[in-house]
Structure 1
Amino acid sequence: MKEFFKSKELWTFVGGAVTAVVTSKFAKSNKARELAVKGLASGMQVKDNVEATVTSIKEDAQDVYAEAVEKSKAQ
């Protein structure tokens, strides 16, 4: 019986089963939902900031291009 409890496979199985149960319980908890909503909101905010930055860069590039075209026509 001692050898059974020294088995690496047994403890790997037990550890996996405990991890599965704990993860399942946590996934169903209100705290997990709160964290998921906060993560989603944060991700949406980052997306909005990136889109605003890209739009600003695009507008600046268009302005520089338009100025270059005007300069080349003036010469």
Structure 2
Amino acid sequence: MAFSFEDRSFVVVTSGMTRISNQKFKKVFNQRPRMLPHDQVETMTGYRIGGVCPFALNDGVKVYLDYSLKKT
């Protein structure tokens, strides 16, 4: 999922069954989660909506991996 704060964007990769917890997100990033607006997704990440992946993103886009990916 692609999020933004100020003029930066970042991607959080989670397992398909995981939902973003507002409380946990705020604890880690010190702000409420704010998804990238639809009209900015491609510009900020380099991918169209529905196809954002954690590889070959635009320069400056950070990728965070959620611990849910470790579940077996």
Higher RCO (CA-CA < 8 Å; seq separation 6+)? 2
TM-score relative to the length of structure 2 = 0.19
